[in-house]
Amino acid sequence: MIKIGIFGGSFDPIHRSHIRVIEEALRQLQLDKILVIPTANNPWKDSVGATKKQRLQMLEIALQRYRNVEICRYEIDQDGNDKNYTIDTINHLKTIYPKEQLYFIMGMDQASLFHKWKDAKIISELVSLVVFERIGYQTNKNLNKYNFIKLELIASDDASSDIRNGKLHALLPEVLKYIVINGIYLETIVKTKMSNKRYLHTISMAKLAKEIAKSNGLNETKAYVAGMLHDIAKEMPHDQALSLMKKYFPDYIDKPEAIWHQWLSAYLAKTEYLVDDPEILQAIRHHTTASINMSKLDMCIYEADKYDPSRDFDSSKEIALCKKDVIAGFKLCLKDFYDFSMKKNREIDNCFFEIYNKYVEGDINE
């Protein structure tokens, strides 16, 4: 008899523990295939972080190497906000696989609540129930009551909610790359990496960068990602920052420590968050000092950082100009920096004058 596994969940996002369950279920139960079923509306969860399309794409990325694993779209393609109930899905699958043996796989956390599921007894008669260990959940009477098969699997505490809050070790690299480059979960991911004050600035600045980009016909997702990661190294401990600067950016080691983070943030974006888009990395790298080779996206990030409305001055007029014309906004930003530095008697790096002469004094549209 053909044996088919059913593994459902929000998969928001899919992670290594999900993959391990799939692999072990295939092996231990000798399944012919597994249907992975992302839910549209989980009865036990009120919300998800990624869109349906994004969750599907993450599943496709993670599962593409498995020839005997299929994504079943039955639940996620349903319209409306009604909750998805397992009994409905199983009844549907039974019409497609009337003679096959179906195995429904769940974690111990779900198994402990199984008696509360809609039509739990009927489900247990239609399919073989399979359970795997989860840290924090003990074997319970439901396992005997509903004849669960137990997978021999070391319990894991990996959780999608933890990943959304910055614990990224459980992600496959290709899934992490997709998440970051598409700006998914970034507001919660970066929150644990910085102080509240820095976090509030980052959120406000990234929102403004996205608005400036959109109004200037630029890629707003790239602007948002660059904005969310532009200060990711801002509060890095001195010794760690110094070590990385010496190793990777020795040419800038004599620059003020306050601006090291523009290089270090680009470094972390590339190495820890797997950003490989050169436009995003350059925008992060240029957001503090600017450069003589500024793209419009670079200008967008530079302006959003300097005119962030969460700062202690009214920048509404400047922001309006940036949204109207990103180049004109950048010129004004340079002028404002120069005027402010002169007023405060602050030393200006020599490289600034080369940038100022090109973009303010020169005609960059030629």
Instruction: Give, for 149, the enclosing helix (H) or strand (E).
Output: strand 149-150
Q: Where are the domains of the chain?
A: 3-166, 185-361
The residues, any chain, with a CB within 8 Å of residue 337's CB and separated by 6 or more, are 306, 352
Instruction: Evaluate whether 325 touches 303 at the Cβ level (below 8 Å).
Output: no
Length of the chain: 366
Considering the domain 185-361, what is its CATH architecture?
A: Orthogonal Bundle (1.10)
- Cα–Cα distance measured from residue 214 to residue 222, given in angstroms and rounded to the nearest whole number: 11
Instruction: Evaluate whether 25 touches 31 at the Cβ level (below 8 Å).
Output: yes
CA neighbours closer than 13 Å in the CB half-sphere of residue 145? 14
Helices (H), the chain: 16-28, 52-63, 86-96, 108-111, 120-126, 142-145, 160-164, 173-181, 186-189, 196-215, 220-229, 238-248, 261-271, 278-285, 296-306, 316-324, 326-343, 350-356
CA neighbours closer than 13 Å in the CB half-sphere of residue 78? 19
Q: Tell me the chain's radius of gyration from C-alpha atoms.
A: 26
User: From first to last of its 366 residues, what are the pLDDT tens digits of the chain?
Assistant: 999 999 999 999 999 999 999 999 999 999 999 999 999 865 445 455 799 999 999 999 999 999 999 999 999 998 877 777 999 999 999 999 999 999 999 999 999 999 999 999 999 999 999 999 988 777 789 999 999 999 999 878 788 888 888 889 999 999 999 999 999 999 999 998 999 999 999 999 999 999 999 999 999 999 999 999 999 999 999 999 999 999 999 999 999 999 999 999 999 999 999 999 999 999 999 999 999 999 999 999 999 999 999 988 899 999 999 999 999 999 999 998 888 888 877 777 778 888 988 888 876 554
- What is 3-166's CATH topology? Rossmann fold (3.40.50)
